[in-house]
Amino acid sequence: DQQVKQNSPSLSVQEGRISILNCDYTNSMFDYFLWYKKYPAEGPTFLISISSIKDKNEDGRFTVFLNKSAKHLSLHIVPSQPGDSAVYFCAASVTGNQFYFGTGTSLTVIP
């Protein structure tokens, strides 16, 4: 019973272009969402978060959008850089405690 889904296992983008990673969730009680980035042989690293009271949060090249009615969030990376190549996980929680993760999207940024 996957409460958080990332339906695209992989994504390839040219350097300088926009990368859009998508995430869907089923539990309407989720009120806190995060994106994590993971390199091989390392643990996930926090990237950006958003609470359910907002519909957008920006941090430099990274923007997360939340559409509560559609139970959908997306991560935009502009411009994409080769160093952004990694696996990106979407995670959701109620009150920021136990997190439910998606299965990840492997992003490749082509120089």
Residue 17 CB, nearest approach to another protein (Å): 26
- The full 3-state SS of the chain, as one line of letters, equals CCCEECCCCEEEEECCCCEEEEEEECCCCCCEEEEEEECCCCCCEEEEEEECCCCEEEECCEEEEEECCCCEEEEEECCCCHHHCEEEEEEEECCCCCEEECCCEEEEEEC
Residue 104 CB, nearest approach to another protein (Å): 6
Residue 8 CB, nearest approach to another protein (Å): 14
Nearer to another protein, 19 or 93 (CB): 93
- Binding residues (CB under 8 A) for another protein: these are 4, 6, 32, 34, 36, 41-46, 49, 89, 91, 95-104
Nearer to another protein, 65 or 100 (CB): 100
